[in-house]
Amino acid sequence: MGTLYLVTGATGHLGNTIIQKLISNGKCVRALVLPGDKLREHLPYGTEICFGDVFDIGTLYPFFESGGDELIVIHCAAIISITTGQEQRIYNINVQGTKNIVDLCVKNKVKKLVHVSSVHAIPVLPKGETMTEITEFSPRRVRGVYAKTKAEASSYVLDAAANGLNASIVHPSGIIGPNDNGCSPMTELFLSLGEKKLPACVTGGYDFVDVRDVADGILSCCENGGSGECYILSGSYISVPVIIRTISEAMGVKIPITLPIWIAKAAAPFAELYSRLSRKTALFTSYSLYTLSSNSLFSSKKAEKELGFKPRPFRETVADTVNWLKLHKRIRTTKV
């Protein structure tokens, strides 16, 4: 009997990074991919692809076929949204999709489930206080549809763990780093700076963590994570001006001006409308600005102690991301 890793959200930034690490370590991996997802072309050679949708439980049965192998499930699939107007779709994937995965984990008696939640599922404490892992989740205690769906899904996972499923939850902070074949908000920031399409930035900041470190934390959690336990996978708090300056310097482009966050908040509804009309990602929305101005102090001490989690310096992540984008011809930079 061998071990087969099942990864949902396989073509996403985190899912793909996890699969690359598993394949490079000689593990057997089955990736859940939406039909028609062209990003599957970026999955490493040796990955078994299974087409399905976490929201449609009928498409998930082949994904869970074990053939006698022990199954370890890493549930990354989610819609990460900082804009408005997708509430039902976000709920369908983040909540009902998670319930479907959990229910099939129970039915198929999987060896381990690691559910990728978010620090957004954790209620925000007053500024200056450090947020740590919690044991109960409620959508009523957090703000924004994304946070609410992550809280509800996390609660369902913990209920299953209490009833015997070997399941752990990880809570990454803002994920950043190379290997993003799609276009997450942070990758969009790199591209906008590289193309000189970001005339200004705002004050505020957030906690950012390298996608590769999150992947390492998740793989360690597969082996070392306690059932019913949660682990914050955070990096360090970085202000927006420092983020912009670090990326701009790494790219060799001009640093945009910094505006007070209240100006950006006033303009956010118009920016969101423009993004919908132009079908482009809005970097600064009402929710993202709320996040950038709220308390973002998280402790990863539990993950460091139990999972060996060790986040790398932010500047190293930025340099590696710029180099990766250049290598894949996603950006062209010119000197200031």
Q: Is residue 290 part of a domain?
A: no
Range of the domain at 31: 3-176+209-235+297-312
Question: Rg for the chain (alpha carbons), in Å?
Answer: 19
Q: Is residue 95 part of a domain?
A: yes
Q: Is residue 134 part of a domain?
A: yes
pLDDT in tens, the chain (336 residues): 799 999 999 999 999 999 999 999 999 999 999 999 999 999 999 999 999 999 999 999 999 999 889 999 999 999 987 556 688 999 999 999 999 999 999 999 999 999 999 999 999 999 999 999 999 999 999 999 999 999 999 999 999 999 999 999 999 999 999 999 988 888 988 988 888 777 777 778 899 999 999 999 999 999 999 999 999 999 999 998 899 999 999 998 888 877 665 445 544 444 444 455 445 555 556 666 677 778 999 999 999 999 999 999 999 999 999 999 999 988 865 544
Q: Is residue 110 part of a domain?
A: yes
Q: What is the pLDDT at residue 283?
A: 54
Q: Give me the number of domains the chain comprises.
A: 1
Q: Is residue 191 part of a domain?
A: no
pTM of the model: 0.91
Q: What is the pLDDT at residue 268?
A: 46
Q: Is residue 253 part of a domain?
A: no
Residue 303 maps to which CATH number? 3.40.50.720
